[in-house]
């Protein structure tokens, strides 16, 4: 947490555009209802639950509820691809993904992307082939993409330039700041999570390198085994830090970040 910001008193509106409400951690009956209410009291004004793999589709659909401002992305996460038994299973997953794109609440395709850090991942050349297929599908369905890119940003940029998607976001962008303009030039946003508060110099660099309108914030909840409202308090502290770096009032910055996230997913 950055010094001098008491996030608990901020109560800023947050559109949490990257969460996993289909996470197997959320298994207790009523758990999601409670977490949503608690998060809404802390400032949550909407969310997009990101896709991991076809098996979780039913749980993601179950998270939709009347009057709840929640939308969905469906994808084939690089970790899902790595865990799949073989290429036949991966192709079957891709076909399922294509069907799920027209499911309820779907506004984006993802997570898809590349992971160069995880030991069990597929070789990067193979990951690139799956990413290319997903990007082609995003274009065919005219959907923004939710990208997971870890230690493979050069490879990702090559795929994105070969098949530019119709917008989207690099979620939990890890830097370096110099890469943000290249991603934004492709029509993408970069999304920061609160861990950037522990790297204030780097946060300043990425905020200044990213054009307004192309910077988003997210919690990636239920990461880190804590209530959603607690994760949101850190996101609010991040919003305050971004506002300070941009020299803008905190409330105006929070409102703009909500609009920018909604625009990224083409929500009215």
Spatial separation of the C-alpha atoms in residues 237 and 245, rounded to whole Å: 12
- The token pair that represents 101 in the structure block: 């794109």
Q: Under a CB-based contact definition with an 8 Å cutoff, are residues 229 and 38 in contact?
A: yes
Give the nearer residue to Zn ion in terms of CB position, either 115 or 260.
115
Give the nearer residue to Zn ion in terms of CB position, either 5 or 71.
71
Give the nearer residue to Zn ion in terms of CB position, either 48 or 50.
50
Q: How far is the CB of 78 from Zn ion (least distance, A)?
A: 11
Spatial separation of the C-alpha atoms in residues 199 and 181, rounded to whole Å: 19
CA 184 to chain centre: 15
Burial class for 82, CB neighbours closer than 10 Å (0-12, 13-18, 19+)? middle
Give the nearer residue to Zn ion in terms of CB position, either 56 or 256.
56
Q: Which residue is it, tokens 């941009």? A: 246
Q: How far is the CB of 244 from Zn ion (least distance, A)?
A: 27
Q: How far is the CB of 32 from Zn ion (least distance, A)?
A: 17
Q: How far is the CB of 172 from Zn ion (least distance, A)?
A: 7
Measure Cα distances from 97 to 72, 81, 156 in Å.
13, 12, 21
Q: How far is the CB of 108 from Zn ion (least distance, A)?
A: 12
Given the rule CB under 5 A, which residues bind Zn ion?
50
Give the nearer residue to Zn ion in terms of CB position, either 55 or 87.
55
Spatial separation of the C-alpha atoms in residues 35 and 251, rounded to whole Å: 24
Give the nearer residue to Zn ion in terms of CB position, either 191 or 210.
191
Q: How far is the CB of 55 from Zn ion (least distance, A)?
A: 16
Sign of the CA dihedral running 63, 66, 219, 10: negative
Spatial separation of the C-alpha atoms in residues 220 and 118, rounded to whole Å: 18
């Amino acid at each position: 947490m950055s010094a001098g910001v008491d996030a608990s008193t901020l109560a800023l509106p947050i559109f949490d555009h990257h969460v996993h409400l289909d996470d197997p951690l959320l298994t207790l009956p009523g758990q999601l209802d409670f977490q949503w209410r608690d998060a809404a009291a802390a400032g949550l004004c909407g969310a997009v639950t990101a896709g991991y793999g076809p098996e979780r589709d039913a749980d993601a659909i179950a998270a939709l509820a009347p009057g709840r401002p929640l939308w969905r992305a469906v994808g084939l996460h690089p970790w899902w691809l790595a865990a799949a038994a073989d290429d036949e299973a991966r192709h079957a997953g891709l076909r399922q993904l294509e069907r799920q794109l027209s499911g309820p609440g779907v506004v984006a395709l993802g997570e898809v992307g590349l992971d160069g850090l995880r030991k069990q991942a597929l070789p990067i050349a193979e990951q690139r082939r799956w990413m290319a297929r997903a990007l082609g599908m995003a274009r065919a369905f005219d959907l923004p993409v939710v990208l997971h890119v870890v230690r493979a940003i050069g490879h990702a940029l090559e795929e994105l330039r070969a098949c530019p998607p119709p917008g989207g976001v690099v979620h939990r962008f890890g830097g370096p700041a110099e890469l943000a303009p290249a991603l934004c030039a492709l029509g993408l946003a970069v999304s920061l999570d609160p861990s950037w508060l522990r790297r204030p110099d780097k946060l300043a660099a990425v905020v200044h390198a990213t054009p307004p309108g192309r910077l988003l914030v997210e919690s990636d909840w239920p990461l880190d085994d804590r209530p959603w409202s607690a994760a949101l308090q850190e996101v609010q502290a991040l919003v305050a830090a971004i506002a300070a770096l941009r020299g803008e009032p905190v409330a105006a910055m929070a409102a703009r970040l909500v609009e920018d996230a909604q625009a990224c997913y083409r929500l009215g």
